[in-house]
Amino acid sequence: MAEALESLESCLEQHIPASDLPEVKRILYGGETRKLDLPAGALSAAQERDFELQGYGFDAASEQLRRPRVVRVGLVQNKIPLPTDAAVAAQVAALHRRIEEMVEVAAMCGVNIICFQEAWTMPFAFCTREKLPWTEFAESAEDGPTTKFCQELAKKYNMVVISPILERDEVHGGTLWNTAVVISNSGAVLGKSRKNHIPRVGDFNESTYYMEGNTGHPVFQTQFGTIAVNICYGRHHPLNWLMFSMNGAEIIFNPSATIGTLSESLWPIEARNAAIANHCFTCPINRVGTEYFKNAFTSGNGEKAHHDLGHFYGSSYVAAPDGSRTPGLSRTRDGLLVVEMDLNLCRQVGDKWNFKMTGRYEMYAEKLAEAVQPYFVPNIIKE
Amino acid sequence: MAEALESLESCLEQHIPASDLPEVKRILYGGETRKLDLPAGALSAAQERDFELQGYGFDAASEQLRRPRVVRVGLVQNKIPLPTDAAVAAQVAALHRRIEEMVEVAAMCGVNIICFQEAWTMPFAFCTREKLPWTEFAESAEDGPTTKFCQELAKKYNMVVISPILERDEVHGGTLWNTAVVISNSGAVLGKSRKNHIPRVGDFNESTYYMEGNTGHPVFQTQFGTIAVNICYGRHHPLNWLMFSMNGAEIIFNPSATIGTLSESLWPIEARNAAIANHCFTCPINRVGTEYFKNAFTSGNGEKAHHDLGHFYGSSYVAAPDGSRTPGLSRTRDGLLVVEMDLNLCRQVGDKWNFKMTGRYEMYAEKLAEAVQPYFVPNIIKE
């Protein structure tokens, strides 16, 4: 049932009369997004490989002193190709193969920066609270096999690769982290960004496995633009987006894994609000499909033990600083979303709306420092 | 043209097939909101007085130790009844009369807390950059005629009244402020909350008239719930919402005046995001209609001088902490939105999602204090 609707946007396209559709789109999405003319070879390859391929573009006004800074980003959403009880090495290999064939199509579409979904080399098994075999999916961010695999892709296609994995940090007692590895188009590991906020909601039992990230809010200056990675649950925290923006991010990726019953009505809101509030592009990515686990588990809601976390609803999209957004990818299929953006739009919108200029951050730094004190007295006015 | 669509929600209701409509509503709005059964007398009075009347309800789970804390709020959106070149006193009197007849209907609907639109006693004339006669609309927050008028309404109907006006502050050199006066259901003035962020965007030339507010983020503990007022452009600043929430606000009103071409695609996003991020109810209100001014003015965009700011698109709504929301009021008509809410939902959603618990505010207080330093060095990683 939760899987039934293939895509909200195609449902609107199909049923809203042509006379009203532009207004509906303007109010819901900030207008019609320009469709990209993608190469026929890429479209047919996507069809053969059974994934959706969509392309959209955001433009900016031309300026006198800056040339357009046009970049193409790719967002990848995918199911796990093998069942969760297949051998760990086989599951990882199958995911590598699947991503490889999707990245090849991204390259045909001229993608400069590509981002995969959260913990992309594994099923999202944290719902089980079991340690083995799931912790065996963890790898070194610096020189694990997945990082090496991504370095090859980066060099081969001259593409920046964002690879969110389960990290094993041998230098610090072999701890686990939820980490995005950022790899330059040269193939060098630029650095890593760890998930700053860890959920304790529903079956998202991730706090059993890893702690809140300690890498702060790094931004990565790449040849194609200044980027940052806000992983999954950090999407719900406006201050997390803000600090990435304060450090200069023009594109903030949000690789995620989230399910329909929990968050689907929040999904179109939060990343888009972050794009508006911070004058930047945001790129939320969600996996698709339902993943079944051998051992049943309960959900802390009094209901019977069951074998899956629920339906990951995909719907990856890109939001622009002017409040407009692309349609979402499918709710049920693997997909690649190619989005062209002129990064000059960020400063243009900032100069128009002035949220940074009018933000009064000095006041908030003080207020927040007061508010976190254990004996903080809230400002409550009574009769 | 920008006025053509009466309401996005009624357009969807009309055209999306019944088989898909619940899914579309779940994804777009977090599901179907319960319709309130409003008194027939109120519905017919609203019809006679030519304004829309809608009612919706948000429920919470029952608890053992707390009784439901059910409150009804009223959101009022309205056109100016007289042309902007009528005498100041006549315009104010006409607005008082219009609001009086809408509040009477709100009382029939059992409203406990009512909020009017931003600068409700006047046309939104700041686009003109002229001082007279517009500054003559300013009044004392403590004992001006509008405050006295609202005190009478509050006592008569046992209703908390939020009255956003242009304030003249005689104690501080006769300065102007954009201020919401909060009046208890006893009739006493509880206090005031000034607009914290002043726009410099498009024709919103308010910074010509008044400065950023200096009342901080007060919350008002009323008999019906703990409330706060985030005026207009403060909607774009996530930290502004956060600090009202940190001080304990369960309902944050957002009286506004904003136009279609500028902000309509942002409107459904920002206040709803704030409700989600802060586990509270938010109530954005926008005026309706187009207001014409005698003297033409330019807009700093190279276009010809003209006589209006644009179309205020109404669309007032209420968003709940669980991410659901009511439909919006009309884009073109005066309206009263009556919303019943069980405030217990705020803590219930907070205990589920834990954004305050996982917010890491201590880290952000430090980071923000660093980021505002003039010689702040952003955390940028280069190859």
| pLDDT tens string A44-58 | 999 999 999 999 999
Residue B8 lies in a domain: no
pLDDT tens string A149-167: 999 999 999 999 999 999 9
Q: State in Å, rounded, how far the first CA of chain B is from the last one.
A: 51
- Is beta strand B160-169 parallel, antiparallel or unpaired with respect to B175-183? antiparallel
- CA distance linking residue A282 with residue A339, whole number of Å: 11
**Shortest Cα distance, chain A CAs vs residue B94, angstroms:** 31
**Shortest Cα distance, chain B CAs vs residue A351, angstroms:** 9
Residue B71 clears pLDDT 50, i.e. is over it: yes
Mean pLDDT of chain A: 96
Residue B2 clears pLDDT 60, i.e. is over it: no
Residue B231 lies in a domain: yes
Q: Does B32 touch chain A (CB under 8 A)?
A: no
- CA distance linking residue B72 with residue B94, whole number of Å: 26
pLDDT at residue number B221: 98
Residue A28 lies in a domain: no
Contact across the interface for A383 and B264, Cβ inside 8 Å: no
Contact across the interface for B359 and A239, Cβ inside 8 Å: yes
Q: Which of residues 137-166 of B touch A (CB under 8 A)?
A: none
pLDDT tens string A257-301: 999 889 999 999 999 999 999 999 999 999 999 999 999 999 999
Contact residues for B1 (Cβ-Cβ < 8 A; gap 6+): none
DSSP B122: S
Query: Which of B3, B5, B27 is the best substitution to test chain A (most A C-beta atoms within 10 A)?
Result: B27
Contact across the interface for A200 and B355, Cβ inside 8 Å: no
In what order do the strands lie in the sheet containing B160-169? B34-35, B52-58, B335-342, B70-77, B113-115, B160-169, B175-183, B189-194
How far CA A355 is from CA of A273, A335, A360, B199, in Å, comes to 13, 34, 9, 9
Mean pLDDT of chain B: 96
Residue B22 lies in a domain: no
Contact residues for B256 (Cβ-Cβ < 8 A; gap 6+): B117, B118, B231, B232, B235, B284, B285, B286, B287
pLDDT, mean of residues B320-343 = 96
Q: State in Å, rounded, how far the first CA of chain A is from the last one.
A: 51
Residues in chain B with CB shorter than 8 Å from the CB of A367 are: 216-217, 243, 246
3-state secondary structure of B79: coil
A118 has catalytic annotation: yes
Q: Does B171 touch chain A (CB under 8 A)?
A: no
Residue A326 lies in a domain: yes
Contact across the interface for B358 and A197, Cβ inside 8 Å: yes
pLDDT tens string A164-219: 999 999 999 999 999 999 999 999 999 999 999 999 999 999 999 999 999 999 99
- CA distance linking residue B245 with residue B333, whole number of Å: 31
Q: Which residue of A has its CA nearest to B160?
A: A383
Contact across the interface for A218 and B28, Cβ inside 8 Å: no
Contact across the interface for B188 and A15, Cβ inside 8 Å: no
The token pair at B338 is 């009556």
Contact across the interface for A15 and B17, Cβ inside 8 Å: yes
The token pair at B331 is 């884009």
Q: How many domains does chain A fold into? A: 1
pLDDT, mean of residues A26-52 = 94
H/E segment holding residue A287:
none
pLDDT at residue number B340: 98
Contact across the interface for A364 and B368, Cβ inside 8 Å: yes
Sign of the CA dihedral A192, A198, A201, A204? positive
Q: Which residue of A has its CA nearest to B26?
A: A265
Helical residues (DSSP H) of B109-193, grouped into ranges: 145-157
CATH at A80: 3.60.110.10
Q: Does A298 touch chain B (CB under 8 A)?
A: no
**Shortest Cα distance, chain A CAs vs residue B340, angstroms:** 21
Residue B329 lies in a domain: yes
Say which of B201, B238, B369 has its CB closest to residue A365: B369
Cβ atoms of residues A364 and B243 within 8 Å: yes
Question: Which string of DSSP letters, residue by residue, matches B254-313?
Answer: EEE--BHHHHTTTHHHHHHHHHHHHTSEEEEEE-EEEEEEEEEE--SSSPPPEEEEEEEE
The token pair at A193 is 């960004």
CA angle B14, A13, B273 (to 5 degrees): 80
A192 has catalytic annotation: no
With residues binned 3-state (H G I as helix, E B as strand, rest as coil), the percentages for chain B, rounded to 5, are: 35, 25, 40
Question: Which string of DSSP letters, residue by residue, matches A8-22?
Answer: HHHHHHHHS-TTTHH
- CA distance linking residue A104 with residue A119, whole number of Å: 20
pLDDT tens string A311-369: 999 999 999 999 999 999 999 999 999 999 999 999 999 999 999 999 999 999 999 99
Contact residues for A177 (Cβ-Cβ < 8 A; gap 6+): A141, A166, A167, A169, A194, A195, A210, A211, A213
Q: Does B17 touch chain A (CB under 8 A)?
A: yes
pLDDT at residue number A32: 84
Nearest-Å Rg of the Cα atoms of chain B is 21
- CA distance linking residue A96 with residue A149, whole number of Å: 8
Q: Where is pLDDT greater, at A7 or A201? A: A201
Contact across the interface for A380 and B265, Cβ inside 8 Å: no
Amino acid identity of A201?
Answer: V
Amino acid identity of B65?
Answer: L
Q: Which one is catalytic: B109, B150, B232, B346?
A: B232
pLDDT, mean of residues B179-188 = 98
The model's confidence at residue B1, banded by pLDDT at 50, 70 and 90, is very low
- CA distance linking residue B163 with residue B143, whole number of Å: 13
Q: Which residue of A has its CA nearest to B270?
A: A273
Contact across the interface for A5 and B12, Cβ inside 8 Å: no
Say which of B15, B237, B354 has its CB closest to residue A15: B15
Contacts 24+ apart (CB under 8 A), B295-299: B295/B128, B295/B130, B297/B127, B297/B128, B297/B129, B297/B203, B299/B202, B299/B203
Residue B236 clears pLDDT 50, i.e. is over it: yes
Which residue's entry shows tokens 């019609």?
A32
Domain span at A164 = 35-298+305-368
CA angle A160, A163, A166 (to 5 degrees): 160
Contact across the interface for B323 and A239, Cβ inside 8 Å: no
Residue B119 lies in a domain: yes
pLDDT at residue number B176: 98
- CA distance linking residue B346 with residue B329, whole number of Å: 24
pLDDT at residue number B4: 73
CA-based nearest residue to A181, from A217, A146, A155, A233: A146
Q: Which residue of B has its CA nearest to A28?
A: B265
pLDDT at residue number A194: 98
A4-32: burial string, b at 16+ Cβ within 10 Å, e else: ebebbbebbeebbeeebbebbbbbbbbbe
Which residue's entry shows tokens 């300690």?
A214
pLDDT at residue number A1: 43
3-state secondary structure of B382: coil
A232 has catalytic annotation: yes
**Shortest Cα distance, chain B CAs vs residue A207, angstroms:** 11
The model's confidence at residue A3, banded by pLDDT at 50, 70 and 90, is low
Residue A371 clears pLDDT 70, i.e. is over it: yes
Residue B238 lies in a domain: yes
Count contacts between A and B (CB, < 8 Å). 258
Q: Which one is catalytic: A127, A232, A283, A346?
A: A232
- CA distance linking residue B189 with residue B143, whole number of Å: 9
The model's confidence at residue B227, banded by pLDDT at 50, 70 and 90, is very high
pLDDT at residue number A6: 85
pLDDT at residue number A238: 98
